[in-house]
Amino acid sequence: MKVTCVIRYQIDPFQRDAFSEYARNWGRIIPRCGGHLVGYFLPHEGTNDVAWGLIAFDSLASYETYRARLKADPEARANFAMAQTRQLILREERNFVEVVDGTLDVPAALPVIP
């Protein structure tokens, strides 16, 4: 994957479980619509109102195709509507990043035994 969309969500911390449901729903929808779901991440320690979603694509053109499929997908539309109705997401930011070669999925080095 060449491009990853990093979505930063400011969430209502009192609706963490509902946001978790929203994120799990994307686990079915995103791959069906053409995205490679890297994962959704909820806060664990520290700030309690910031979550992330990472979705990878071969190109920005494939991202645009994915967005069109999302708009046509009934389950995607229902998931967006659920989030709006429950007001889970207070703010959302999207950034597109690319991986630096040689830095993703690098296996741990084995210890050197003298």
For the chain, the domains span 3-97
The structure's pTM equals 0.87
- Non-local (6+) Cβ contacts of 9 within 8 A are 19, 50, 51, 52, 53, 89, 91, 92
Q: What is the distance between the alpha carbons of residues 54 and 46, in angstroms, rounded to a whole number?
A: 20
Which CATH number applies to 3-97? Answer: 3.30.70.100
pLDDT tens track for 45-77: 999 999 999 999 999 999 999 999 999 999 999
pLDDT tens track for 37-47: 999 999 999 99
